[in-house]
Amino acid sequence: MTSTLKIIQSASSLNAGPTDLTSLASFIETFPLQGESLYSIVFERNSDIVQTQKARFAVANLEKILAATFAVSATSGFDRMSLRDLSRQAGMSMGSIYSCISKKEDIALMIADIVRLSSELTSQHAMQSDSLWSKIEQSIRFHLYASTVLQPWYFFLYFETRCLPQEQQRESKQIELDGIKSFEAHIQRGVDAGEFHTSDARMVANTIVVLLEDWYLKPWKTLSPWKASISVEQQEKQINNYSQSINELVRKLLVDS
Amino acid sequence: MTSTLKIIQSASSLNAGPTDLTSLASFIETFPLQGESLYSIVFERNSDIVQTQKARFAVANLEKILAATFAVSATSGFDRMSLRDLSRQAGMSMGSIYSCISKKEDIALMIADIVRLSSELTSQHAMQSDSLWSKIEQSIRFHLYASTVLQPWYFFLYFETRCLPQEQQRESKQIELDGIKSFEAHIQRGVDAGEFHTSDARMVANTIVVLLEDWYLKPWKTLSPWKASISVEQQEKQINNYSQSINELVRKLLVDS
DNA sequence: ATAAAAATAGAGCGAGCGTTCGATTTATTG
DNA sequence: CAATAAATCGAACGCTCGCTCTATTTTTAT
């Protein structure tokens, strides 16, 4: 309940400037959940949890803690990550970590909160397009951009959902179901208007969502090493390729034949 | 290395009688990794790990331990599952558990072994069809049947891979990549023969694999409760629906237009 | 410059973990 | 029906975990 309110409040205030989807570079400039502002937002949205009071320290420490969490838990999982591992990786003492957070679980909660906020921004953006087809196209593109910028966050939430309280586990599932329902609704309206042709709008919608998940869950599929941080230009190219692949696939399923 | 040998040896000996895909009921009768024989196979393939000597006890205990593992770890994950939880759920003392296994990790290793064996059987089966299209169709069908019968096993391996030694983590990824490559090869041959039409065989192959994963990873999507063990007839119906959905989708991507 | 406040350090605490072990019960065998 | 082997039991062990606490350093304010 609390987290839902958090999303509504903040998503509307953050979305003052619309996000620019013309390229990854312009997306990064306009997407609020990125760079330094990302950790400021984490701090603001979790001021009840974060113990450190001065924003300057809090933001810097949150960045170190979360980066270390992604690094350690990617290979061994959140449960196996001890706070001693974390403190070593983050270059902070246990005391510093616990002056920032109050429980290990808080780390997972903050990550989940940001991913949910990002999903909220994604679904809000889709509303702004006019044609049904561009709603779908833009939705796919936004999702790919956001889940690339926040790849470790999305990945973490998917695989560590079971570290969260049950209520939040259900919420995560619900977000996936809402994503499918959103695509399904657009498709169904297209079918009703005679613009699309399919006997199973839900299946097509589900396929889109699953392919979007594949993007941030299994970067190793695309042959790209990814670990060696590749340039924005290369990422741009890969996203363009993949979104075009999805678009063509969806067009074949909905428009042709 | 050891496990690979294990698969080759056993997959060829097990596959004496071909598996019958005409219905789920007939599949269950001919699929070796099912019912009592499943746990006998687990015992045989892990006699080096399993401490209990008499097959009668070992098989019964393995069944209790693995069933309890699936029950407990489904909600909280393998790491959070304590052996006290496990012993309570299995109705065995700690001593009994440790007279069957020698490390907690062994449980995960045995599960991973069976899923890999099942994948091996799946890919072997596909070879037996004649036409390219039926190779794809049969492969999808076999995978859906096997991952329904072994749903908790497949689910476990996907989410608990990180509890396994690194070598086995890589092996799991490789199996997914091989699955994609297998579909891609069939599709590409169809394209070369003028039977299929697509500019991105890999994308279509990947879509199939991802949809197959979706089946055992997110049973809650299909509205069916699943937890309340549904009848074989209902499962049959759902599998037929889903495989037909995938088939139609793939046909639209490859054959039409 | 100095005092108050905030942030940091890491040794230490109790709880709970995976695992072991010796006593006991159950099964097998000559 | 002994005698031996195998399986079962759960209390106990050592260790690591998440977390706390106090002394110390750094920052901020006057």
The pLDDT value recorded for residue A127 is 83
Say whether the CB atom of A83 is under 7 angstroms from strand D: yes
What per-residue confidence (pLDDT) applies to B230? 84
- Cα three-residue angle A194-A199-A205, rounded to 5 degrees: 90
Within 10 A of A124 (CB to CB), how many other CB atoms are there?
16
Mean of pLDDT values over A56-80: 96
- Per cent of chain A over pLDDT 70 is 91
User: Is the CB of residue B24 less than 8 Å from the CB of residue B232?
Assistant: yes
**pLDDT given for residue A14 in this prediction:** 62
- Asked whether residue A65 is domain-assigned, the answer is no
B 174-233 near A (Cβ less than 8 A): 176-177, 180, 199-200, 203-204, 206-207, 210-211, 213-214, 218, 220-221
Mean confidence (pLDDT) of chain A: 91
Our count of domains for chain B comes to 1
Report how far residue A131's alpha carbon sits from residue B133's, in angstroms, rounded to the nearest whole number: 36
As a whole number, mean pLDDT of residues A63-89 equals: 97
- Per the structure block, which two tokens stand in for B144? 């859906």
Q: Which residues of A203-216 are buried (b: 16+ CB within 10 A; e: fewer)?
A: bbbbbbbbbbbbbb
> What percentage of chain B has pLDDT greater than the value 90?
79
Give the chain A residue whose CA is nearest to the CA of B242: A203
Of the candidates B47, B48, B37, the one whose C-alpha atom is nearest the C-alpha of residue B13 is B37
A99 touches strand C (CB under 7 A): yes
* Domain-embedded: residue B21: no
B200/A248 Cβ within 8 A: yes
Give pLDDT tens digits along chain B (257 positions). 445 556 655 565 665 567 899 999 999 999 999 998 999 999 999 988 888 878 899 999 999 999 999 999 999 999 999 999 999 999 999 999 999 999 999 999 999 999 999 999 999 998 888 899 999 999 999 999 999 999 999 999 999 999 999 999 999 999 999 999 999 999 999 999 999 999 999 999 999 999 999 999 998 887 555 555 788 999 999 999 999 999 999 999 998 76
Q: Tell me, what CATH number does A141's domain have?
A: 1.10.357.10
Which tokens sit at B230? Answer: 């549904």
Residues 6+ apart with CB under 8 A from A142: A19, A21, A121, A122, A125, A126
Contacts of B92 (CB under 8 A, 6+ apart): B61, B64, B65
Residue A55 forms part of a structural domain: no
Structure tokens at B224: 């069916």
| Residue B163 located in a structural domain | yes
pLDDT in tens, A144-187: 999 999 999 999 999 999 999 999 999 999 999 999 999 999 99
Q: With 90 as the cut, is the pLDDT of residue A46 above it?
A: yes
Beta strand spans in B4-128 (E): none
Whether A85 is in a domain gets the answer no
Q: Pick from B218, B220, B253: which is nearest to A252 by CB?
A: B253
- What is the pTM for the complete model shown? 0.94
Question: Is B184 among the domain residues?
Answer: yes
> How many A-B residue pairs are in contact by the CB < 8 A criterion?
72
Averaged pLDDT score across all residues of chain B: 91
pLDDT value of position B2:
47
Q: What is the 3-state secondary structure (H, E, C) of chain A?
A: CHHHHHHHHHHHHHCCCCCCCCCHHHHHHHCCCCHHHHHHHHHHHCCCCCCCCCHHHHHHHHHHHHHHHHHHHHHHCCCCCCHHHHHHHHCCCHHHHHHHCCCHHHHHHHHHHHHHHHHHHHHHHHCCCCCHHHHHHHHHHHHHHHHHHCHHHHHHHHHHHHHCCHHHHHHHHHHHHHHHHHHHHHHHHHHHCCCCCCCCHHHHHHHHHHHHHHHHHCHHHHCCCCCCCCCHHHHHHHHHHHHHHHHHHHHHHHCCC
- Contact at 8 Å (CB) between A136 and A187? yes
Q: CA–C1' span, B95 to C26, in Å?
A: 15
Task: Identify the residue whose Cα has the smallest distance to the C1' of D8.
Answer: B96
Check pLDDT > 50 for residue A201: yes
- The range of the structural domain enclosing residue A220 comes to 111-254
Pick from B197, B196, B202: nearest CA to B183? B202
pLDDT confidence of residue A3: 52
- pLDDT for residue A126: 83
Task: Please report the pLDDT score of residue A7 as a whole number.
Answer: 61
For residue A136, tell me if it sits in a domain.
yes
User: Quick one: angle between helices B132-149 and B151-160, nearest 10?
Assistant: 90
Domain assignment present for A103: no
Check B162 against A245: CB less than 8 A apart. Answer: no
- Is the Cβ atom of A109 within 7 Å of strand D at any atom? no
Residues 6+ apart with CB under 8 A from B195: B132, B133, B255
Residues A140, A230: Cα–Cα separation, whole Å: 22
